[in-house]
Amino acid sequence: MLARRFAIRVARPNERPAWVNLHDGAVIVASGMFLASWPGVLNGNPFLEILADSLASHGARLISVDSPRKGIPSEAEALLIQWPDKIFWNSRRGHAPYLAALSELTALWRWKRSGKKLIWIVHNDIPHDLPPRERRVWSYFTRALSRLASGYMTLSPATQSIVLRSHPGLSAKPAGSFRHPAYPSVTRTPAQALARRQHLGIPQDAYVIGALGRIGGYKGLPQLIDAFRAIRDSNLRLLICGRPRNAGAREEVEAAVGDDARVLLRFDLLSDEDFALTTAACDVMVAPYRQYLHSGTLVYLACAERRSLTPMTPFADDLAKCVGPGWMTLYEGCLNPEVLHYFIASKPPQARPVLTALDPSLAAKDILEFIRSL
């Protein structure tokens, strides 16, 4: 989702560096600091692509590392450990990846012994929806990772205390933060939004509440559906789009919907453009997420100029203050019909969201300064 394509070409002298695709990732050719990222540029992950571009604009060179086990680039000054939960990605269902965890830890120890700085970019304090056996692996793995890390960074200055509660081994390590960078070019025109409504079979005059993205687990969709169904307004629509994590997640959402024809379910894996157009087709968005650390979706909604309703968390509170009043409504406790009704009845803000604090250049600058400070 939200993937972008990059031209493959060689940069001329004095020209901005380009992407060069390799078999195991991508390298940015530039002058200055040389950094590695694990995992590297993933298909469909705009965060890494935006971050890579902004680092390049500061003269940094970034190489994608598929696995620390596959060798240590001699030029790299530091390894940005982005999603260490990659140890779970290829494991068989029902099998805890003990060997993968041990193998990667051994490789990271070699990286550190060779003089490389290990910077843990803590996207999630605990990966979403881990079963008990994998939670135990994660606990052992991150305990060792906390000892190996040269320092850590979070995607908001407001989330460092949460990370330390989950990973107390990081308390003695240097800490930094940068805000999740803004997504470029994700707004769409009113005409495009209307065309998408027609495509989805939504009346032009309906008031559409949207919930987009992966379905299941911590997303809290059954709670949203219950709150919506309690509001008896024939002009309302609830549009839920995304790919279910598993059959159980789909069945749970379908059971919550029941026979309410105002709820529209689209179990599709949305492309970048589908996601942008469907976001534009909604009047407001609801993200009733539970137990998460950072959310790229909330950043995306602000960039797409869509009001959002989400629980009060340190990340959401900080982001709401950054983007300006009226763009994010935060609630405490459980989502209920009263909270949802208040949100949809609220007037939209007159000013556009302020994205200055989410400038990708600031994120790159904070990362490079943090590494130099070690």
- pLDDT tens for 58-89 read 999 888 888 999 989 889 999 999 999 999 98
Share of the chain above pLDDT 70, in %: 90
Residue linked to tokens 């005409």: 191
Pairing of strands 151-154, 236-241: unpaired
* pLDDT band (50, 70, 90) for residue 218: confident
Q: Are 243 and 216 in contact (CB under 8 A)?
A: no
In whole angstroms, what is the distance from residue 251 CA to residue 258 CA? Answer: 11
pLDDT digits (tens, 9 = 90+) for 124-153: 999 888 888 999 999 999 999 999 999 999
Domains and CATH numbers, the chain: 19-181+359-373 (3.40.50.2000), 190-357 (3.40.50.2000)
- Residue 11: how many other CB atoms lie within 10 Å: 14
Question: What confidence score (pLDDT) does residue 154 get?
Answer: 98
- For residue 8, is pLDDT > 90? no
In whole angstroms, what is the distance from residue 112 CA to residue 106 CA? Answer: 10
pLDDT digits (tens, 9 = 90+) for 21-66: 333 333 333 347 899 999 876 556 889 999 999 999 999 988 888 8
pLDDT digits (tens, 9 = 90+) for 289-318: 988 999 999 999 999 999 999 999 999 999
Question: What confidence score (pLDDT) does residue 37 get?
Answer: 93
User: Rounded mean pLDDT of the chain?
Assistant: 89
* pLDDT band (50, 70, 90) for residue 15: very low
Token digits of residue 27: 């390298």
